[in-house]
Chains A and B, each alone.
Chain A
Amino acid sequence: MRSLIGAVVWLLIGSLGSFGFAADYRVSGPVKCSNPSQAPSCGSDLTLSEAQRSFKNEKKEITKCLFEKSSKKRDGLQLPRLFSQDECSMMTLAVLGNLCDEQRTIGGEDEYFWAPVNQFTDGNATLETLLKMAKDGQAHDGHMVIGTASSTDQERHLALCAVASVRGSSGPPRACVTVAIVTPNATWLRGGYSDSLCNAMAVSRPTGAIDILFEVVTPQGADTFSPALTRMMADMGLAFELQARTKDSLRLRSVAGLRTSTVLNGGWKEALDFDINLDRAGDRIFVNGELHVMVCRQALGNLDQYQGLDDAQRSIFAQTFDSNVRAALKSSCKSVIERDAKTMTCK
């Protein structure tokens, strides 16, 4: 209980005790755009009040977690900084990189949230690095930090952008996302939850089956994607069948009998089936692929001598089918914006 009270006191002190940093930046660009194609830097921005609201919501969760923890451990729990990697969660800073490549300011797969800089154990050190990057305006590991065009002297937004560099020359900042808000009174940083396992588009079931998942935000019908998907299946040597219920609800079934694997090298034999369901829900089409594979290194003729995939093989199959399905979906669009590993906007 004492730790719970301490946590609340710490939160109050922490909120009040945030202090400002000088946020000079060399490069600036629009981040919040009405039209995403307005500039390459267009991405995701948020307001200070949204950040504060996010902190308030997060506090509730953390306090609840600490309460549960303190009720379990009655004996002298040392009060940690709330947004450190403690037993309550795997919360982490998400300032110098996007967790699982997710370009958002709040929420999402990694549950991005905002908090004052001193709520993070390494908040000040990370902020210092961020400010240095903003000041030099150079690319670091494919990223650069810019100030958003909407920043004012009283409220500066620093955004993390992707950037391509060739022989020391950097391209324009792309797909920027605000990761810090610097005001004279407080500096707010983006945090997130990282368990180092990104919720990728491929999910493995306990039975060994692999689910390939995509969400395509598009006004087009699901049938737009079927030619590319069937072509992909044919290219992979799969015998396929298309079952169209409506233009927004399709099922593609495909199968390959015993054969030399086209995915695994070294003479592996495989038998697989791969079904894809496309169904519209609201503004998006859910693409659910289901892959079952049996493999054997010997050229045997009975399936009972074949085995499921090991973890490494499953990863290779997931990667291959994911990239093939992704390429097929993208090839059906005139322009594509990949929001994350799973979601894409298709026009």
Chain B
Amino acid sequence: MTVDESRTWLITSSLVITAAQMVFLITAPVVGFPLQYPKNLDLLQIVTPVFLGYLGAAAHFIFRNPVPEVSVQNRYLGLLVRGPLAIYVIVTGSALAAFGYANRADAAAGTGISVPNLATILSLSLGLLAATTSVINSYLFAAPLPGGTPGPDAR
């Protein structure tokens, strides 16, 4: 995966995930998902800012001309760009599905997942992005370090 492909991947995935999360969490209470206003908005407050941050950095980046050179070990770039986002999507999707199923209308009391527990799961999966994607994002979109991005042979 090239640097440019990584940028495209990050922008696309951030847009898709932001849209999906917003649409789902806003409409969830009215489609019978066991989450009421304003708890759905509380969750949205947790998960949205991270992706908005990625998109904000990308928005700044498109006005930067010429594009600053970034030295990166391409061998691991694809894995670290795609991997955390894929994990985030799987974990978040499963958490929401489990939450919906455990709290379904005919579930017995005592078998459900609470909203704070769901929020904890979402925070944990966002932690993975903070440790990986946010760092990559800062190199790919943010301003270069003074003197340029250190190359692989820099000491």
Interface size, B (range) = 10 to 19
Set of chain B residues within 8 Å of A298, measured between Cβ atoms? 34, 102-103, 112-115
A136 to B105, CA, bound (A): 54
Is residue A297 contacting chain B, with contact meaning CB distance below 8 A?
yes
Stretch at the interface among A117-125, A174-182, A258-266: A258-266
Chain B CB within 8 A of A301 CB: yes
- A residues 199-234 near B (Cβ < 8 Å) are none
A143 at the interface (CB under 8 A from B): no
Query: In chain A between 241 and 284, which residues have their CB closer than 8 angstroms to a CB of chain B?
Result: 258-260, 266-267, 269
Q: How far is the CA of A305 from the CA of B118 in the complex (A)?
A: 14
Which of the residues B32, B104, B106, B110 comes within 8 Å of A301, measured between beta carbons? B110
What separation, in Å, do the CA atoms of A301 and B107 have in the docked complex?
Answer: 11
A299 partner, pick from B36, B108, B115, beta carbons under 8 A = B108
The reply to whether B110 and A300 contact each other, CB–CB distance below 8 Å, is: yes
Q: Which of chain B's residues have a CB closer than 8 A to the CB of A305? A: 114
CA distance A269 to B109 in the complex (A): 7
Say if the beta carbon of B126 comes within 8 Å of chain A: no
Q: Is the CB of A299 within 8 A of B32?
A: no
B65 at the interface (CB under 8 A from A): no
If the complex has contacts A297-B103, A300-B114, A305-B114, are A259 and B109 also in contact, measured as CB distance less than 8 A?
yes
Contact A301–B111 (Cβ < 8 Å): yes
- In the complex, A89→B107 CA distance in Å? 52
Q: Bound state CA distance, A297 and B29, in angstroms?
A: 11
B35 on interface, CB distance cutoff 8 Å:
yes
Tell me the minimal C-beta distance from B108 to chain A in angstroms.
Answer: 6
24 A-B residue pairings within 8 Å (CB atoms): A258-B110, A260-B109, A266-B105, A267-B34, A297-B34, A297-B35, A297-B103, A298-B34, A298-B102, A298-B112, A298-B114, A298-B115, A299-B34, A299-B102, A299-B103, A299-B109, A299-B110, A299-B111, A299-B112, A300-B110, A300-B114, A301-B109, A301-B110, A301-B111
Give 13 new A-B contacts, CB below 8 A, not counting A299-B111, A301-B109: A258-B109, A258-B110, A260-B105, A260-B109, A267-B34, A297-B35, A297-B36, A298-B113, A298-B115, A299-B109, A299-B110, A300-B109, A301-B111
User: A interface vs B, CB < 8 Å?
Assistant: 258-260, 266-267, 269, 297-301, 305
